[in-house]
Structure 1
Amino acid sequence: MKLNRDDLHEFQNYGVDFIINKPISALMLECGLGKTITTLTAVSDLMYDYFEISKVLIIAPLRVGLTVWKQECDKWEQLKYLRCSIAIGSVSEREKALQADADIYIINRENVEWLVKNYPFDFDMVVVDELSSFKSHQSKRFRALRKVRPKLDRIVGLTGTPAPNGLMDLWAEINLLDMGERLGRYITRYRDEYFKPDKRNGAIVYSYKPLPDAEERIYGKISDICVSMKAADYLEMPERVDNIVEVGMSDKETAMYKRLEKEMILPFADGDIDAVNAASLSNKLLQLANGAVYDENGKVKKIHSRKLDALEDLIEAANGKPVLVYYSYKHDRDRISERFNAREIKDDKDISEWNTGKIQLAIAHPASCGHGLNLQSGGSTIVWFGLTWSLELYQQANARLYRQGQKNTVVVHHIITKGTVDEKVMTALKNKDIGQASLMEAIKWHCKDVQTNEVRLLRSKSAEQRIEEVRD
């Protein structure tokens, strides 16, 4: 397809100009707003209109890096000249890709540390797809990229979920972009200025709570380099219905749950179910709410089938329509597969057959298909068999079906076991979304606020002419 700036939506053109005009930028765009085409258009203009860059690194989730970015270049006639080299795979495959003559080099985020350690970091521009995956300042990927950040003239962060767990996540993401200019160079200073201790045990602080004016002050600090856009403001989104399906355990099953919750152990003759700390306990309780738990030997203890029964009812109620089920644990997947004729979404063939209506019941882990995949053609019903604490995974997974191009009302079912941690997860997801929504609103861009952009220099020349001038 032919692509010109006139073919882009007005909000996409604004995003292109935002990247071009700001060496440091963060586009917080919800799914479906075209962050990939927006970024690639900006890269094209910077490379072949303004001659400011010649070598770009894109850091992306694995599956997105393998397919989405290059596919988008190949899709549009005006971007086909952007030569992409995918540095993903074995060490030899990565090395070969990095040595290729290209404009854009694409690597998965897990290999950022390897790249920094083994290659001269000579990129003019870095694009971090899903910036929120760098929210931990202690992660190896953050430390590696932060080490070479001073070498970069331009950096772009892309995400739809900038603060999935609250405002504390923002420090590392913004620090990676501006090297501490806005929120401070050190996480401790950021904590002291905008937060106060919340949950603690003596001198040990487990969590922090934002000060009353923290949101406003933080948003004011970062608003010059960040812009947010919500899909519902610019796209014709399908109707969405969220449904809670409650199931209850028997008295015996409830007693087992309560004992595990209180004593952190359930004794069995062939292997106990035990939790060594609070995080492990939460994990075990979520498993038990789903109906099965791994014991100390890694074997599965089946406790109940309440959620399987509810899932059966939902599948029957779908009346032959395709259903996409999100599971949390391998034993969830195995038990669902044992009971139903389900197909797991794992590769491009699965995606294609789902989108062409050949799969009636699909199962997937939200972490494996949470980013970049278009599944809206295959169905409009989602069932959360097992819940996730991660707002990012939750929103991204739902966006596989709830996005532009979906022709039917999207129904999102959540199977909740009453009286369990499931209820707390749903409350947490709702509360985190409220906090993140206020961030997105604070830095939201509105079309009416921006005047028509001036016509760019060199626009009269064709893309082919500009490319030949640069490469000659």
Structure 2
Amino acid sequence: MAAVIIAKTKSPGRVKQRQRAVVQMEQKTPKTRKRSSKVHKIQPKENPMEDVQDAEEKLMSLALDKDGDGDEFVDVCQSGLMICRELHDKLFEHQKEGVAFLYNLYHKKRQGGILADDMGLGKTIQIIAFLSGMFDAGLVRSVLLIMPVTLVNNWMREFANWVPGIRVKVFHGTSKKEREQNLEQIQRRTGVLLTSYQMVLANWEQLSNLDGQPFLWNYVILDEAHKIKSPSAKTTKSVYGIPAVNRILLTGTPVQNNLRELWALFDFACQGSLLGTAKTFKMEYESPIMKAREKDATLGEKALGLKISQNLMAIIKPYFLRRSKGEILKLNSERSVCLTGEERDYIALEMPSLPRKNDFIVWVYLAPMQEDIYRNFLSLDHIKELLMTTRSPLAELTVLKKLCDHPRLLSAQACANLGLEVSEYSEPTDQSTLSMTQDIKRVSDKLLIEESGKLVFLVALLEKLQEEGHQTLVFSQSRKMLDIIEHILTKRSFRLMRVDGTVTCLAEREKRVRQFQMDKSYSVFLLTTQVGGVGLTLTSATRVVIFDPSWNPATDAQAVDRAYRIGQKENVVIYRLITCGTVEEKIYRRQVFKDSLIQQSTGDKKNPYRYFTQQELRELFTLEDTTSSATQLQLQSLHATQRNSDLELDEHIAYLHTLEMFGISDHDLMYTCETGQEEEEEEAEDDEAHQYIEHRVKKAQELVQLESQLKDKKYQKSRYL
């Protein structure tokens, strides 16, 4: 019967669709609720053959009538992947392109890839839409989706909202029996299994087997995939142990510190078949690219680094998709200008335009007592000896970072030795959070503020923002710092909400987020950067304070994106507090260096401006002029006239200048300057230099290709053993 019906169709495309529909019907693949309800309306006939014919015709008319309202499936961006029209029409244009990219990886038999869209652009829904089409077409049976534990409930909700017809189970929680049942159900039948990195670490062997035999997943998908940026980490090794035909990585921050992290992600995603070994990649790609990013690099080094980075981008491009918010919004704006009439209605499906964001570095002063302690610490013989050895200075740098925030972040013994007014507040050992809070209360809030230049500025800022009706997110890497801020703001009758590592219950976190989002009387939300910077949507806030900068620029960027994401209706202002002349200023310079590396290596910018020399990045153990910032002055000279502002923001900036601070810089204008690459190449590339560069690029590409081919052969062989 099916063959007869197919023969009656004229369009080859329609034939292909009808064949797919029949296959789907025979496989009894789950569909959407809407579609199932329509099929159930078929009334039984006396003749069974009439029943079969009626069912086939009803099903095909639902799925294949392209000329009417009954057209239920759409080819996504002409990629060949069909997804439900109801789902397709809810996707933004860039999300449809992302779904097509994911299917193209599968269609061209690439073993994996990376979807690295900026945070807040909907990587979750792109994966869900892709899997919906793959399950409907019968191209996948079992999918393992691994994520941070805080995101498990979010993924469950999104699957239920968008594609309730797909079976989704969770491998998490305290019930071992329930976990095993859910795993077996997905492995034996079809569906998606959600689990966390912690669960994979402890149970990767169980996830890799069924009835004592190796189990091969159709897809292993990692959310927040930068969790496996270190190849030697236990979590990374456990994820590697789970066999899969295809692997997809999701991350808004594909490079956080260095290019080796990018190599690690591609090594996992492409199963070793793309970028060769870590050793060769470091020598042939990372080292020349890193050297070229330094401000004091020679013209030859800059030219080589540029060519090598271009070659790297060419290699990874088929496996890598990254779009930024600014890029998408600019593209949408250009499209809308060209559209008229009915076409303009279509643009309404594009991502809603985001309001303006102003991302400021606020250069604050150390309090007099902070500066004295800082200088005394640097003068210790211990520090002088440290600079003469190769030992890691991390512990000493941590002390300096704490001093920049507040001296009382040091241990109780250190505070006593420094002569600070009586307080037993110290690093948590056996004390509860309540007892630590009681210790803070022994010191007056006035004194606590006077001991930290950042607090002097922060309190004045928050009082002004509360007066203006803004809700503000305040991020710190330290729970102790949040304790101090909470104590001071409570004394000043602020209504606060807080989430940190002590709030382990996901339901409680979500409850606090909902309360803050719905109740405008909460003026401040205190969050630790590591916990609050991932998986939360706090678009009711229009102001964000990063109290202490992270070594990792991506960490701070994730925190900012809790407020500046799809759903934000008002202009957003970010304040990154950095103390003049201290280790924090050097940390910021390192952030700029890392960001320039990311901009060039992931294709955002071909040749971003080089701000700082390598020597400047090394000078961590010095204290420069604490009454001014050389970095602020440099950035001011480059970007002072480029700020996107209005009268209200101008008045606010004028207010900021009345507070205790040196000045502000526009972090969001970084990399608006580009190095004149054509001029540099022309100067650097005489015939001999040009031949050398071409030779280096060719050698690098040939080496990684050869190593990748060898690794791929070993992998393919292992799959059939």
Class of the TM-score when normalised by the shorter of the 2 chains:
0.7 to 0.9
In the alignment, the residues of structure 1 paired with residue 323 and residue 523 of structure 2 have an alpha-carbon distance, to the nearest angstrom, of: 34
- Residues 335-383 of structure 1 deviation map (CA, whole Å, 9 limit, x = unaligned): 011111332135011100111124211100121122232111x211001
In the alignment, the residues of structure 1 paired with residue 151 and residue 319 of structure 2 have an alpha-carbon distance, to the nearest angstrom, of: 25
- Residues 223-247 of structure 1 deviation map (CA, whole Å, 9 limit, x = unaligned): 1111111112224122111223333
1:375 correspondence with 2:517: no
Which residue identity lines up with residue 344 of structure 1 in the other structure? R
1:89–1:239 distance in 2 versus 1, CA, 3 Å: same
1:413–1:372 distance in 2 versus 1, CA, 3 Å: same
Identify the residue that residue 212 of structure 2 maps to in structure 1: none
1:315 correspondence with 2:315: no
Structure with the largest fraction of helix: 2
**SS of residue paired to 2:576:** strand
In the alignment, the residues of structure 1 paired with residue 380 and residue 556 of structure 2 have an alpha-carbon distance, to the nearest angstrom, of: 30
1:370–1:396 Cα contact (<8 Å) kept: yes
Identify the residue that residue 349 of structure 1 maps to in structure 2: 511
In the alignment, the residues of structure 1 paired with residue 275 and residue 316 of structure 2 have an alpha-carbon distance, to the nearest angstrom, of: 8
Structure with the largest fraction of strand: 1
Identify the residue that residue 395 of structure 2 maps to in structure 1: 280
1:384–1:413 Cα contact (<8 Å) kept: yes
Shift of 1:122: 3.7
Which residue identity lines up with residue 165 of structure 2 in the other structure? Y
2:365–2:454 Cα contact (<8 Å) kept: no
1:250–1:313 distance in 2 versus 1, CA, 3 Å: closer
Which residue, 368, 371, 375 being the options, matches 1:258? 375
1:70–1:84 Cα contact (<8 Å) kept: yes
Identify the residue that residue 422 of structure 1 maps to in structure 2: 584
1:311–1:256 distance in 2 versus 1, CA, 3 Å: same
Shift of 1:264: 7.7
Identify the residue that residue 452 of structure 1 maps to in structure 2: none
- Equivalences, count: 418
**SS of residue paired to 1:340:** helix
1:300 correspondence with 2:439: no
1:48 correspondence with 2:163: no
Identify the residue that residue 60 of structure 1 maps to in structure 2: 147
Identify the residue that residue 468 of structure 1 maps to in structure 2: none
**SS of residue paired to 1:29:** coil
Counterpart mapping for 1:10-409 below 5 A: 10-23=93-106, 24-49=112-137, 51-65=138-152, 67-76=153-162, 79-90=163-174, 92=176, 94-101=179-186, 103-119=191-207, 120=209, 121-148=215-242, 151-184=243-276, 186-196=277-287, 212=305, 213-235=307-329, 236-263=353-380, 277-292=392-407, 293-295=409-411, 300=426, 304-318=451-465, 319=467, 320-341=469-490, 342-345=496-499, 346=503, 347-356=509-518, 357-376=520-539, 378-409=540-571
| Larger CA deviation: 415-424 vs 428-437 | 428-437
1:238–1:404 Cα contact (<8 Å) kept: no
- Residues 406-464 of structure 1 deviation map (CA, whole Å, 9 limit, x = unaligned): 111111011222221121222222332222222333699xxxxxxxxxxxxxxxxxxxx
1:30–1:160 Cα contact (<8 Å) kept: yes
In the alignment, the residues of structure 2 paired with residue 141 and residue 361 of structure 1 have an alpha-carbon distance, to the nearest angstrom, of: 35
2:359–2:573 Cα contact (<8 Å) kept: yes
Which residue identity lines up with residue 191 of structure 1 in the other structure? K
1:237–1:403 Cα contact (<8 Å) kept: yes
Shift of 1:3: 3.3
In the alignment, the residues of structure 2 paired with residue 313 and residue 289 of structure 1 have an alpha-carbon distance, to the nearest angstrom, of: 18
Shift of 1:288: 0.8
Q: Which runs of 5+ in 1 are unaligned?
A: 200-208, 267-275, 445-472
1:70–1:36 distance in 2 versus 1, CA, 3 Å: same
Identity of paired residues, percent? 25
- Residues 278-321 of structure 1 deviation map (CA, whole Å, 9 limit, x = unaligned): 11122111111001333387963989232222111111121232
Indicate the structure whose relative CO is greater, using CA pairs within 8 Å and at least 6 residues apart: 1
2:205–2:241 Cα contact (<8 Å) kept: no
**SS of residue paired to 1:285:** helix
**SS of residue paired to 1:15:** helix
Which residue identity lines up with residue 108 of structure 1 in the other structure? S
Shift of 1:104: 1.0
Which residue identity lines up with residue 590 of structure 2 in the other structure? A
1:28–1:440 Cα contact (<8 Å) kept: no
TM-score of the aligned structures, taking structure 1 as reference length: 0.82
TM-score of the aligned structures, taking structure 2 as reference length: 0.54
1:373–1:252 distance in 2 versus 1, CA, 3 Å: closer
Which residue identity lines up with residue 61 of structure 1 in the other structure? P
Aligned-residue RMSD, C-alpha: 2.7
2:473–2:544 Cα contact (<8 Å) kept: yes
- Residues 241-270 of structure 1 deviation map (CA, whole Å, 9 limit, x = unaligned): 12233332244431321232343869xxxx
Shift of 1:63: 0.9
Shift of 1:91: 5.8
Larger radius of gyration: 2
